[in-house]
Amino acid sequence: MNWSRELVDGLDLAFNESTACGLTFDGQAAEARLLLEVLALAEAAPLGPDPRRVAVFTGVSAVEVILRQEVDDDFEPVLPVESMDALESFFASLGQADAMYGWSFFDVDDPGPDWIQPASLVRHSSNPIASPHTIHWFTECGRPAADRWERFYLQGVVRFEDLRIETADLRAVPLDAFVADAKRWWDAFERHDPRLSSDAQQQAQAASLTWRGWGGTSVMVPSSGA
């Protein structure tokens, strides 16, 4: 696949305001799978009932994860995550997770000041290979505790060679179609398309399929309030 600037920009757009819902890694196959719920709009159609997608990264040399707890509006030191199974258990424990934002996720030179080393979890492929690309994913998330709501910042970097997109039932989604559906959503959002009205978004969310059943996704409204 030709990793042009146009493709990277399109993928950044398609990942913006998506929610990371899980990550798996097969070191033998050098493959990582990031579960996402995305913003997508088909041509001349209402919002679809299934926003679930899987970003399948191949030729993966390393997966790194950082988990920190937020206390009094500040982040605590990095928490250990013992294994990929422990990461899955953490995702499963959540009651809420916020979407990614910022419009820049692929081939980012610096993930930002919150990227603290050593990481909570690092896994390498059994046959390390040159992985020229990266994805920086993250979520601000929370879960209920005995007498409070615990807040966390979870983020990760996957170092990979190539990418494909699948639906939740493992159907392939061409990258150009994945990007086009996202661009159509954002274009409709900017135009105040009635398919993305507050009522339409709420109705779609109430009926949509989810990876985790967290629910409660906030409606996105243009800045004008229209």
- Quick check: is 216 in a domain? no
Report which DSSP code applies to 218: P
Q: Strands 74-79 and 149-160: what pairing?
A: unpaired
Confidence at residue 75, expressed as pLDDT on a 0 to 100 scale:
83
One digit per residue, pLDDT tens: the chain, 226 residues?
Answer: 678 999 999 999 999 999 999 999 999 999 999 999 999 999 888 898 999 999 999 999 999 999 999 888 788 889 999 999 999 999 999 999 999 999 999 999 899 888 988 999 999 998 777 899 999 999 999 999 888 899 999 999 999 999 999 999 999 999 999 999 999 999 999 999 999 999 999 888 888 999 998 865 568 877 654 3
> Where would I find the H helices in the chain?
5-15, 84-93, 175-190, 198-207
Backbone angles phi and psi of 6, in degrees to 5: -65, -40
- Ramachandran region, residue 192 (left: φ > 0; alpha: ψ -120 to 50; beta: rest): left
- Quick check: is 94 in a domain? yes
CB 12 within 8 A of CB 108: no
- Quick check: is 219 in a domain? no
Domains contained in the chain, number = 1
- Quick check: is 131 in a domain? yes
- Quick check: is 221 in a domain? no
Domain that holds residue 98: 5-207
- Quick check: is 218 in a domain? no
DSSP characters for 94-126? -SEEPPP-SS--BS-S---TT--SS-SEEEE-S
Q: CA 4, CA 124: separation in Å to the nearest integer? A: 26
- Quick check: is 17 in a domain? yes
Confidence at residue 53, expressed as pLDDT on a 0 to 100 scale:
98
- Quick check: is 87 in a domain? yes
Q: CA 55, CA 51: separation in Å to the nearest integer? A: 13
